[in-house]
Structure 1
Amino acid sequence: MIDTTPTTPAVWFITGAARGLGIELATAALEAGHRVVGTARDAGRVTAALGEHDDLLALSLDITDAAAAPSAVDAAVERFGRIDTLVNNAGNFYAGYFEEISDAQFRAQMETNFFGPLNVTRAVLPVMRAQRSGRVVTVTSTAGIIGGEFVAAYAASKFALEGWMESLRFDLAPYNISTTIVEPGFFRTELLVEGASSIWPELSLDDYADRTEQTIAAWKAMNGQQGGDPAKLGRALVQLMALDEPPQRWIAGADAVAAVERKARDLLVQADAHRELSSHLDHDDDPAAPERLTHQETRA
């Protein structure tokens, strides 16, 4: 039965809680006195990472299995009575140049990074709507707002999450459910660990061979050297979720802030580059066109 009475401590539902940021976030939530439902493909790995706690429920959940998510949510509600904060954290990284990433790999990337969070959120929202409260947090990446070399599939999945979350907030606002996008920069997690979260391209084309070899070597060398501390990120996110109004977007890491600022400047330059051409595309017989053009030109 869903408990519709707000309580302290809050109940957090965290996917990907067996490694990386998921471990640190679950630890921070537990240390703050909250209750945590931690999921991974193998619940045993959650318990191994976090230990046994009265306030921890470890669950096995494959986020790509839409039928499994409601069962996990039911188990969470049965144990703790409600879900206050959902964190869509689980994900992986299919790296490679677009032509070398197979169709199966690209679809697998979208299934995990995009449709996985949709599956879990779709299962959690009825609980939050019944409560008339809740917070949906989705971890994207700076690759969700800035495209780059060797990340075509990964960036596509994260860009998709950004569009979904920006729109979802309008759907949920009437029910006192907030949404927060988290855009981390480079943090010392397991994202670049080969075989754990990073998957290299299945295909090989001569034109890309040298670049692929060099880029994979560079990514491997970067693992364990990232500047961001995931423990600090986890504690900071718990603090943000304690605010009366959590941010709609949180850019996490000094490198991420600098990158997003560059992107914002680039967008402004691109918007202005062909302003005259862009501003004169209305039908000539549109009676409102002159008024709109005058307003646009005044702002310019």
Structure 2
Amino acid sequence: MTIASRTVLITGTSSGFGEAAVHRFAAEGWNVIATMRNPSAAPAFPKNVLVMRLDVQDRSSAETAIAEGIAQFSAIDALVNNAGFGLHGFFETTPREKMLEQFEVNVFGLMDVTRAVLPLMRAQRHGVIVNVTSGAGVFGLPMISLYAASKFAVEGFSEALMHEVAPFGIAVKLVEPGGVRETRFGQRAGAEASGALDVADYAPLGERAAQVFAAISDSRSHGSSDEVADVIFAAATDGSKQLRYVATEGIKPWVEARRRDGEEAYIDMMRAAVGLGAL
């Protein structure tokens, strides 16, 4: 099968990494099923793009999008699970319903879309599943405990699933970006904030954490959505057994410290980064 005849389904394509990934795959001749919660707000996409409604909290919409994509393009060769949002706030003050929503979207929604496409890929005996996680799926920071928990869950799920589906010619990949400013991700994260700073005991740490997040986003090496889309495309097409791809330079020192240094050294470094050494 030539790349020009391949088809990818991407979730969360109304903006950010998802929108950029649509253009990246389409530019390489792929057929693209671009899905989002509200197709009426879809950006301008090339002609080889089919825009479909898919809300990861609505399993039937995933099944419909997959069925219509197959009807038009005959196959789905790659799935990019990009849809998600970040919940900011301290764990103690986060309402339980927001905790559930964080996992409904970032974990269970991703799993539902993956489950819906797996029978097709298994029958085809080929396919690639690219799950977009985050630096927060590698290291934890204050004020994103639930977001980090959801992304850690996707990392563990993906690593285990990789082994389950390998006998059927299906690959699983993880793309880990962080600190990209031009996406709308931060806007929703701010809107979803739980108001934790109303608890006076948490205020000093909250102020320090906000400075850390600002430094990550303001870094000259924070990357762009197009650069992340390039990594997503590479993960989907390189044919390697590589599982994890760090997509932005700015988070690489922390990722490398987490995976390379001893536990005590890593924790000391992270505590210093969020100013806990001064508390």
TM-score scaled to structure 2, two decimals? 0.85
Give the letter aligned to residue 206 of structure 1. A
Secondary structure, in 3 states, of the residue corresponding to 1:245? coil
1:243 to partner: Cα distance: 1.8
| 2:199 aligned with 1:205 | yes
Summarize the Cα distance change of 1:198–1:83 in structure 2 as closer, same or farther, 3 Å threshold: farther
| 2:185 aligned with 1:191 | yes
Secondary structure, in 3 states, of the residue corresponding to 1:93? coil
Summarize the Cα distance change of 1:221–1:45 in structure 2 as closer, same or farther, 3 Å threshold: farther
Alignment of 1:75-114 (within 5 A): 75-114=68-107
| 2:57 aligned with 1:64 | yes
| 2:35 aligned with 1:35 | no
Secondary structure, in 3 states, of the residue corresponding to 2:261? helix
> Aligned partners of 1:190 and 1:41: how far apart in 2?
14
* CA distances 1:70-122 after superposition (whole Å, capped 9, x unpaired): 11110110111100110000000110111121111111101111111001001
| 2:229 aligned with 1:234 | yes
| 2:166 aligned with 1:173 | yes
> Aligned partners of 2:238 and 2:209: how far apart in 1?
41
Summarize the Cα distance change of 1:157–1:59 in structure 2 as closer, same or farther, 3 Å threshold: same
Secondary structure, in 3 states, of the residue corresponding to 2:5? coil
Greater helix percent: which structure?
Answer: 2
1:17 equivalent in structure 2: 13
2:117 equivalent in structure 1: 124
> Aligned partners of 2:85 and 2:144: how far apart in 1?
12
> Aligned partners of 1:118 and 1:173: how far apart in 2?
17
1:21–1:231 Cα contact (<8 Å) kept: yes
| Greater radius of gyration (CA) | 1
1:297 equivalent in structure 2: none
Summarize the Cα distance change of 1:246–1:13 in structure 2 as closer, same or farther, 3 Å threshold: farther
Give the letter aligned to residue 266 of structure 1. D
* CA distances 1:220-270 after superposition (whole Å, capped 9, x unpaired): 797677721111221232234222225211111222322111112334668
2:133–2:176 Cα contact (<8 Å) kept: yes
| 2:252 aligned with 1:257 | yes
> Aligned partners of 1:196 and 1:262: how far apart in 2?
26
| 2:143 aligned with 1:150 | yes
Give the letter aligned to residue 192 of structure 1. G
2:79–2:128 Cα contact (<8 Å) kept: yes
Give the letter aligned to residue 245 of structure 2. W
Give the letter aligned to residue 243 of structure 2. Q
1:197 to partner: Cα distance: 7.0
Q: Could you tell me the percent identity over the aligned residues?
A: 32
CA RMSD of the aligned region, Å?
Answer: 2.5
1:55 to partner: Cα distance: 1.1
Secondary structure, in 3 states, of the residue corresponding to 2:4? coil
> Aligned partners of 2:262 and 2:65: how far apart in 1?
41
> Aligned partners of 1:28 and 1:171: how far apart in 2?
29
> Aligned partners of 2:48 and 2:54: how far apart in 1?
19
> Aligned partners of 1:219 and 1:7: how far apart in 2?
38
1:287 equivalent in structure 2: none
2:175–2:244 Cα contact (<8 Å) kept: yes
| 2:27 aligned with 1:55 | no
> Aligned partners of 2:243 and 2:209: how far apart in 1?
34
| 2:237 aligned with 1:245 | no
1:183–1:256 Cα contact (<8 Å) kept: no
1:7 to partner: Cα distance: 6.5
| 2:41 aligned with 1:45 | yes
1:138–1:182 Cα contact (<8 Å) kept: yes
> Gaps spanning 5+ residues in structure 1: where?
271-300
2:89–2:193 Cα contact (<8 Å) kept: yes
Corresponding pairs, count: 263
